[in-house]
Amino acid sequence: MIKKYKLFTTEICPRCPSVKEYMEKADIEGEMVNASEDEGLKQASEANVTSVPTVIFFDEEGKETARAGSVEEIKKILEEG
């Protein structure tokens, strides 16, 4: 079961605002990471994130369960639980 998410974005990403807006309304605890900043870029590299937007979903144990890069993908993942 999905318990948390981490969303990687940048300021210049044209697809990031819609994904960010969708995730802010989702009933899941989450974190936004700006991959344009040094710390965000480090986190993205450690998580093997190669494009933005990328949402990584985690279960109650903190293990990655899924990744998505669009609102459509997010909806599908959340519907599947």
Domains identified in the chain and CATH numbers: 4-80 (3.40.30.10)
* Per-residue confidence (pLDDT) for residue 70, from 0 to 100: 98
What is the pTM for the complete model shown?
A: 0.95
pLDDT for 46 beyond 90: yes
What is the C-alpha separation between 11 and 17, in angstroms, rounded? 9
* Per-residue confidence (pLDDT) for residue 64, from 0 to 100: 97
Distances in Å between the Cα of 44 and the Cα atoms of 7, 25, 37, 54 are 10, 23, 10, 9
